[in-house]
Chain A
């Protein structure tokens, strides 16, 4: 929390700050995600720029009060453009000892701690593993600690409702929300309306939540516990209408948009899996868009049904995560062979196996790229921010429909549940992605009569015709067996197989012809280090690059949305930098791809801790690379070993020439 005005210690005073990062933490039964969501909406209405990061346990209800059951929600709000939910909180709201213990390590010195002191009884302290009460020893002396009896104040406030204490206590998250809403000057009317909508105008629950919320707000105003409250001016924004959106909702809306832009009915075949299920939930709400959602018996049936729907002329989609994509692999291969449009949406999470179901990771890129038997190329599109999920869905659908191919759309747990304000597009400006079904024969049979060849290719896109059942005269059979080029009948002929393998590969590679060229962002024009990213690292990479530039150093940045094929000129751009640093949430999957594809010295900056990169991690890595270059120190060679000879642009150039040989 940086302050613009001088600190004011008089009660009732207001300070203006430019940004703050707040983390709400409590037991998973305490409603911290809901509290965070409401604070987010209030902040959006205040006009602040914001970014959020929910963090919840995999268990539905871990034992109450345990460390495993701590659920947290971090929000970064500011008066200027921000991209990330913040590296560390300035303010930690801890509803119980476990929440304090699990999160206090992230709070920097002089950070603000707002604690529900009522929950610090002996039993709760023991459950959290505290031997002594941290409020009574000196362990929190580095922080500004505010001990507030939230539970008892909530009970007192809710007394008029007649709710039993056990029930009334559940409203304490609204007390915390009210208190923080006062502290940061959030508008409260919208939350009061929201409570009425959500819990019913006349229900005891609605009344209790409203009373607790107001009590929290009034406590802040009257109790004079806090030295001051804080104002954060609205951020400057491009003109337009904004809404706050999570990646999963944006992705679901993108699929609905794609269906309308393609003029095709949307079919989703899906099996519930964290963190992808919210897309199924969202689409299931919008049946008036003509979307049919099937909660299938398993992951395999989900994608199978989507492929069957695609055969019939629908926009077929399946959504999954983690082990789900392993199960779908066989059907993706069938879709490659059938050459039908299909979207496979993968909300990546920590693996292998069940891994970290609720935590983010970017470790499925190579699976999307290579995770099938045989030569089975599949285009890959990756979303980079929550709102970008909307556009990425449309782009993935465009490629699938135009080239009659399954397409992997990669998002991840961070994008899925994280949110950001989104400047809404004019729907008229969205691209037309419609394609035409075949209606007429396209070949002449051996009998001289017009006939239909399901594998006769468009000379430009190499896509085959999409003839849907119900079209007279175009009856045809397709299958997973190899097909005769053009005519599409079963063929075991060796030379034909090579023709078909190469045709399928050329079709996918040829998509690059229609992709925008890759351009590195290098405002100073003299950067030697390029940051290459994909997916949800966009926010941290961009913020990290900005910090480095503010410190007077040059660094270039490029973020890939198309990962297969790559943009047509990618190799050229990569080779024009001395060092390519690839921050990714895996052990180096994109790094591996660009090294093998372009023979460039790309180095990975890995993070596989179930959480996104912090900006300072990226910043530090960039500065180290720059320093290494400037000092002429050793640079690792292509194998990752230290190359004592050092390498400059000339060396990179010769590598490229070797590649050409």
Chain B
């Protein structure tokens, strides 16, 4: 590798000239700002960076980035990004999506991009509501949610996005929230570093249609007791003084404990790299919604060859085996005969 210095960029270089048009107070602003603050630190080039989105409030994201970008159609961003990432392994491809976009209309594409391990960094803004269509319940809304389309309360059991991603064989799964810029930046950095598909659920406040959905866990006063920070190799504990923790429930699951009751040695030590996803899955089941103590950080980060590399490997093998494709020989590869 030659010693070419990557030109330093600043946040300003990554912002497009378009006026940001989310509702004032929307959580999307702080996510945008976290991404624009992170990118200059990554030493990557604007021209090699692509943001691809579907439809929804979150999907406006690419317009505000001074990179290449596509604002596509509802739910299809992971599929479109797959085609780009597989043919252009030199690019950094980000997918920005929301809970409706990726878990409802685009659920199929999300799970398949994850199981294939396509080299994509997927940021899923979860506000548990449909914002752009003005306030219907989403596939992450809690049961009983009163919305315009569910005046008597929604009946659907919601998805747990982290559980879903783990079940879809994702190699990198994390969660963060829009009120903690530092945590977002570090989580996005880890997601970007991951050599395969990475999935980050970002709890994001919709102050117009679902204000305060995460307040019970991420407001300044509640955070210490309600967010469980996951740190690789460390016993899982939370609370202002680390007085709470997570221990085995003896039945293959996990339970919340008081460290004083069970002793520090009883706490589960977090292991992001465990090939078996059951610990990560058990962690994802600790909270049934953003009203109980909820783990944030990296649930799982394991290595598996990314799809594009495997595709390229087959191409290389074919060339080594058969030589570069020759059209004239191909046309004559079946039975041929001559006249004249």
Contact = CB atoms under 8 A, between A and B. Distances in A.
Given A304-B79, A304-B80, A243 B340 contact: no
Contact of A243 (B48, B50, B336): B336
B163 to A, nearest CB: 20
Most buried by A among B49, B82, B319: B82
B250 interface: no
B321 A288 contact: yes
B79 A469 contact: no
Given A239-B339, A240-B340, A474 B83 contact: no
Given A243-B331, A294-B82, A481 B71 contact: yes
A470 B338 contact: no
A308 B82 contact: yes
Given A47-B337, A242-B336, A477-B68, A308 B330 contact: no
Interface in B10-59: 16, 18, 45-52, 55
Contacts of B108: 297-298, 301
B70 A297 contact: no
A294 B83 contact: yes
A431 interface: no
Contact of A292 (B68, B73, B311, B336): B311
A313 interface: yes
A292 to B, nearest CB: 6
A190 interface: yes
B335 A470 contact: no
Contact of A490 (B55, B63, B109, B335): B63
A343 to B, nearest CB: 13
B5 interface: no
Interface in B287-340: 311, 314-315, 317-319, 321-325, 327-328, 330-332, 334-340
Given A469-B48, A477-B69, A311 B84 contact: yes
A425 B332 CA distance: 11
Given A308-B81, A334-B73, A314 B109 contact: no
A288 B83 contact: no
A288 B327 CA distance: 11
A471 B16 contact: no
A312 interface: yes
B45 A472 contact: yes
A77 interface: no
Contacts of A516: none
Given A239-B340, A308-B84, A312-B91, A479 B330 contact: no
A306 B16 CA distance: 27
Interface in A293-313: 294, 296-298, 300-301, 304-313
A30 to B, nearest CB: 24
Contacts of B311: 292
Interface in B84-98: 84-88, 90-91
B112 interface: yes
A41 interface: yes
Contacts of A475: 46-47, 66-68
Contacts of A305: 79-80, 82-83, 86
B112 A297 contact: yes
Interface stretch (A150-158, A253-261, A560-568): A253-261
Nearest to A293: B311
Nearest to A267: B87
A307 B80 contact: yes
A334 B47 contact: no
A309 B337 contact: no
Nearest to A242: B337
Interface residues of B, number: 61
A479 B63 contact: yes
B278 interface: no
Contact of B71 (A238, A310, A479): A479
A206 interface: no
A288 B319 contact: yes
B51 to A, nearest CB: 8
Interface residues of A, number: 67
B65 interface: yes
A457 B50 CA distance: 23
A288 B324 contact: yes
A477 B16 contact: yes
A330 interface: yes
Contacts of A260: 325, 327
A469 B50 contact: yes
B21 to A, nearest CB: 9
B150 interface: no
Contacts of B67: 475
Contacts of B321: 288
Contact of A44 (B112, B327, B335): B335
A427 interface: yes
A241 B340 CA distance: 9
Nearest to A474: B47
Given A243-B334, A477-B69, A290 B325 contact: yes
A31 B154 CA distance: 56
Given A298-B108, A427-B331, A288 B80 contact: no
A2 B323 CA distance: 49
B331 A292 contact: no
Contacts of A253: 327, 330-331
7 contacts: A256-B327, A286-B318, A288-B319, A305-B79, A306-B83, A308-B81, A424-B336
Interface of B: 16, 18, 45-52, 55, 62-63, 65-73, 76, 79-88, 90-91, 108-109, 112, 311, 314-315, 317-319, 321-325, 327-328, 330-332, 334-340
Given A294-B82, A469-B84, A481-B71, 8 more contacts: A45-B335, A253-B331, A288-B315, A292-B87, A304-B82, A312-B91, A427-B327, A477-B71
